[in-house]
Structure 1
Amino acid sequence: MTDTTTHSTRLAEERQTTADRLEGLRREFGQVVEATVDSNSDDEHDPEGATIAYERSQVAALIDQAEQHLVDIDAALDRLAEGTYGKCVVCGREIPEERLEARPTARTCVEHAGKG
């Protein structure tokens, strides 16, 4: 049986950590964009242009990942509220506690990972 209180607390903490991280990443992205305002916009010929474009794309990818993680956390919190947290969405069996410890947003058991 899944200890919903422990998982609820952990998910809430992880949500706050992720939201804080996302805020920092958005701030960093803004700084990268701001730094390019006064620079040469010709990334192909500006030696720093490629580095700035790379950094901008890296931060954007991290923002996307953090945003998706928030969606996953919110979905897990919804499952907790509905009483379905810790049950595989494919087969309905209990997700092993070890899997939930490693991946608290897991929607499936290991057997059905990637299918839910």
Structure 2
Amino acid sequence: MMQLKERVGELVKKKQRLTMDNKQGDLDPSDSMRIGLQLPVLEIRDYGLGLEVNLMSGLRKNFMLFEVITVLEEEGASVVSASLSTVGNKVFHTLHAQVKSVRVGIETSRLCKRLQELIS
């Protein structure tokens, strides 16, 4: 339980860093270089029998959430929860999925490649 609280704290701090907006709500070039951010951002965490997919995009470059869910399911994951939040001009998607077949698993490198193609 304590590890989960620490992880939530880390993610909240990371989200705050990433959502520093200028007057238009976009990162200015100096902020982008400082935190190494280029939208869209994809992060996949593999927990063995589960996955966490975090996507961050701008309002101008968005994608359909159902397309992301479809790719996850085609790769052998079953989405158990999905959330979306908008902060400034940024959209944050968080999806949690479980492996459908423990024997087969999920090839995260292929999943990452397919999702990158979808959101780019």
TM superposition score normalised by structure 2: 0.29
- Structure of larger gyration radius: 1
Point out the structure with the larger helix share: 1
